[in-house]
Structure 1
């Protein structure tokens, strides 16, 4: 029974791992986008975390997770002599890597953290049935990597403490590597291991060799990480230069996040946000069951005394000090709390748990900004098809350029455009974010030329000045179907020379939860618009009435 259930949940995890939902821009811009340009020579745009004067993100823990798989994929394609892998292949290959890391390392760690054999199967199945495991943990988040590092940090602490007669040198070396990788990955990492790590003090007192090895290896791995980061941000720097003038990204990150003015740029939340909003959002019925267990028993429940619970709750408490609080910051808490809580057999809980995770699984794992990745992958094909339609052929085609305006979506990852080799194509991607509809219309008025321009497209001034008068320029708009402001342009009045949007492509599995305007439209009308008009469309912007 347990084995069949686990295998079924494994298939569910595979399905969501290969579904192109988009949970947060960081899953692309703080991972694959950083290495795709260097490894696969795709177009890429580094985010501010990597380009500021004091960069706050380290590449040390990211290289083996993103750059190494991309490099292996490029080597494999080179051996087969079939060119560069497409961005679609690279995207799903990275998702497969994250699935394997979750399946092997996370489940293995949970198995080791639960001491009693009769509880292990239930704990592993409960974690495997969480929508957080299906979605967040299979996406390319630094938070997903943090979960693996936290759980294995706890496993190694347990192993070291359990060795009464040996120094556990190897475990200390690996724990030092995990500690350094965790800190350089996210500065929130120590919050989860600081209190559980106190268990090591008696062992280090009895076995000073273990302490010496742990500290020495920690310093060594830290130096390696600092050198790698410094040479990444200053490629001309030698190893000696890196040691003399190092770039210490965790320190920069800590200094940045201790300033409330900086956090205000990303959104400020009350200090209770993690405990009262984010944890219930991630755990659902399990959170309710945990709270009820505290009220129904006079003594402290046994699950609350476990290392996993201490790690999770102390981590949440420390992270609650900072006023910027997002649910993904608590991803490591999910497997920790689910693996230590002993659920009684309850049909009500089972039904609630299945409904909660199925609903959130499909919402977050399939529909949440689900069209951004497929549409970005399809943009070059859409433009080439429109070019053929306008000119009847791609042969002897002048260089084609396209300005693509993304409105009311997450930022599209540039690396997913890949390297187009079939015909000359320049794509200018502009993230319009959530600007008002009137401003979006003004931008289109500037870009779309009046009737009479070549093939209904236009040539910008820079092109004319450089002798590229035959350059074809398309203006595309990518926006959710729920953006009702654009309805006025999809059907232009006869004889009008105003703006017109012609639909070229539509991806149906897309919902924009950032467009919930309950205050203006009311709850039911908003839900009907956002969920009833699902999908992400690509329109060609042109003047109505033009031949």
Structure 2
């Protein structure tokens, strides 16, 4: 029975992986967009993490995670006789399937390795597989999702190293050294989750120093490779062995150190949002695991996994900028360290609550959350007249999905702009209204066109959409994606809870209007 349930949950995970929800811009801008620009020469937007004087994002983990699959896809594309570049949307879905496979194989496999008891293992695997975090965040291209997998296998390697049945732990130590460096260059928060598990290695390394030497040598070599790759990537000079050697000797780019210095300054974090020290514990963790929070506090099962989660949450709580996704690595560790209620009625009540919680947030985050942005970019890539696209009240769209349209299409992200300022912006960009605009598809033959993409729930636009007169802007709806929810447009203070929910949910969707004006 549990195997059929597990396979059903795997199918649910795949379904959400193939849904176009957009959980956070970082899932594109901190990884796929950068590497896609390097491999396919797509025009991309490099965020400040990559363009500052002291860059804080390493490309070292991006190449094996995203670069190798993209290179393989390009090789298969060319091998099948296809001409031209691969459509970016094909790359996008390939990476989603890849994240599903790594979650399904590596995460679940790690749980099998970490939990010796078959009964506890079945419960843990089902809890993790039924979590909406596994369905959504883990199937998206977040560095936090990668960190989850790296942490899980670091714990597996630690367990293998200290296992007294192992005749030699040198190989596991070498791999652990490489994996830990990979984890640090992926996210500097990674070591926080290894503080308590790492204590188990002290006694082992004391009696087996060659394992420690192997780990240090492997970690040192991997660090050198990572720094070399980052230095070469960020160097403005042509890549030669001589230039690389000079840069490494005089001006190496050490992104984890830059990242640590940046995040250690409160004034830097203030621009991203400051939170109280207990934000992770009382808000973010319950947001991720819901009803399991009660079991986490009242029925935890002491384990290496739980120690890892506790050390990670504790250290991350020191930093004043706290987002829920920072705790993704802790989710499978916590869920696999819980004891279910013994009382049958309590178990059933908890089980029903767990199912309702994850189905609700799974559908919300996996199917609807900003889900029109990816289809919207695909639509814009096919508009021959589009030269300006203004995105209002949405997340920043990934421009690498425009399939070469970037050369003529300027994408403007004005998410937080006031309505009056938006109209002024559109007035400067809108093309002249011609009779062709009012006929079926004749506008597509024009050389220039301005489009506004905004949620249907943006009721501020309503008075302007029906303009049929000679003056002012004219909005012609040309595209709509129904399964889009904009949770960043909730204004409970001004409109009240019921009216706000009615507007955002009842008028869900993302709409594209072609904007013209009388000239």
TM bin (shorter chain)? over 0.9
CA distance in 2, matches of 1:292, 1:352: 17
Q: Structure 1 unaligned runs (5+)?
A: 294-300, 385-399, 458-469
1:478 match: 453
Aligned-partner Cα distance in 1 for 2:64–2:13: 22
**Which moves more between the two structures, 100-109 or 345-354?**
345-354
- Measure how far apart 1:267 and its partner are: 0.6
Task: Report deviation, 1:401.
Answer: 5.0
Give the aligned partner of residue 297 of structure 2. Answer: 291
Name the structure 2 match of 1:356: 357
Give the TM-score of the pair, scaled to structure 1: 0.89
For this pair of structures, how many residues does the alignment match?
503
CA contact 2:57–2:256 (8 Å) conserved in 1: yes
Q: Residue deviations 1:324-361, cap 9 Å, x none? A: 00000000111001111121351101100110000000
Change (3 A) 1:165 1:521: closer
Q: 1:461 corresponds to which residue? A: none
Does 2:503 align with 1:502?
A: no
User: Are 2:464 and 1:489 aligned?
Assistant: yes
Pairing 1:81–2:78 present: no
Kindly state the Cα deviation for residue 249 of structure 1 after the two structures are TM-superposed: 0.3
Partner of 2:496: 522
Tell me, in whole angstroms, the C-alpha distance in 2 between the residues paired with 1:46 and 1:181: 22
> Which one of the candidate residues 376, 380, 387 is aligned to 1:402?
387
228, 241, 246: which one aligns with 2:252? 246
- How far residue 34 of structure 1 moved from its aligned partner, in angstroms, is 0.2
- In 1, Cα distance between the equivalents of 2:386 and 2:120? 60
Q: How far has the Cα of 1:166 moved from its partner?
A: 3.3
Corresponding residue number in structure 2 for 1:3: 3
Q: Choose from 236, 239, 242 the match for 2:238.
A: 236
Structure 1 residue ranges (4+ consecutive) displaced by more than 4 angstroms after TM superposition: 449-452, 454-457
- Which residue number corresponds to residue 339 of structure 2? 342
TM-score (norm 2): 0.94
1:310 shift after superposition: 0.7
Structure 2's unaligned 5+ residue stretches are: 439-444
How far residue 242 of structure 1 moved from its aligned partner, in angstroms, is 3.9
Question: Match of 1:194, SS?
Answer: helix
Q: 1:79 and 1:357, CA in 2 relative to 1: closer, same or farther beyond 3 A?
A: same
Does the Cα contact within 8 Å between 1:179 and 1:218 map onto a contact in 2? yes
Q: CA contact under 8 A between 1:309 and 1:336: conserved in structure 2? A: yes
Q: How does 1:356-375 map to 2 (within 5 A)?
A: 356-375=357-376
Q: Does structure 1 retain, via aligned residues, the 8 Å contact 2:280–2:313?
A: yes
Contact 1:36 1:42 in 2 (8 A): yes
| In 1, Cα distance between equivalents of 2:166 and 2:287 | 44
CA displacement 1:237-287 (0-9 Å, x = unmatched): 534124202100000000000000100111111111000000000000111
Q: Secondary structure at the match of 1:410?
A: coil
Q: Which residue of structure 2 aligns with residue 262 of structure 1?
A: 268
The answer to whether residue 338 in structure 2 is matched with residue 332 in structure 1 is no
Partners in 2 of 1:153 and 1:449 — Cα distance?
57
2:15 corresponds in structure 1 to 15
Tell me how far apart the structure 1 counterparts of residues 433 and 288 of structure 2 sit (CA, whole Å): 53
Residue 27 of structure 1 aligns with which residue? 27
- SS for the counterpart of 2:408 is strand
* Structure 1 CA distance for aligned equivalents of residues 6 and 414 of structure 2: 43
Instruction: Note the alpha carbon deviations across 1:484-526, whole angstroms, 9 max, x for none.
Output: 111122111x433211111000001100101111111111111
Asked if 2 retains the 8 angstrom alpha-carbon contact of 1:135 and 1:364, the reply is yes
Give 3-state SS (helix, strand or coil) of 1:115's partner.
Answer: coil
Match of 2:441 in 1: none
Aligned residues of 1:40 and 1:71 also touching (Cα < 8 A): no
Q: Please give the alpha-carbon distance, in whole angstroms, between the structure 1 residues aligned to 2:403 and 2:35.
A: 13
For 2:482 and 2:280, locate their aligned partners in 1 and report how far apart those are by CA, in whole Å.
Answer: 33
**Native 8 Å contact 1:312 1:336 kept in 2:** yes
Q: Contact 1:167–1:209 (CA<8 Å) still a contact in 2?
A: no
Residue 436, structure 1, aligned to residue 384, structure 2: no
Q: CA deviation at 1:45?
A: 1.3
Q: Which residue of 2 aligns with 1:445?
A: 427
1:489–1:7 CA distance, 2 compared to 1 (3 A): same
State the 1:455 CA deviation.
5.6
Give yes or no for the alignment of 1:320 onto 2:317. yes
Match of 2:200 in 1: 199
For 2:437 and 2:96, how far apart are their aligned partners in 1? 40
1:60-85 per-residue CA deviation (whole Å, 9 max, x = no partner) reads 11111111111111111111121222
Aligned to 1:476, what secondary structure does the other structure show? Answer: strand
Corresponding position: 1:411 with 2:396: yes
**Which residue is 1:463 aligned to?**
none
Equivalent residues of 1:226, 1:242 under 8 A apart = no
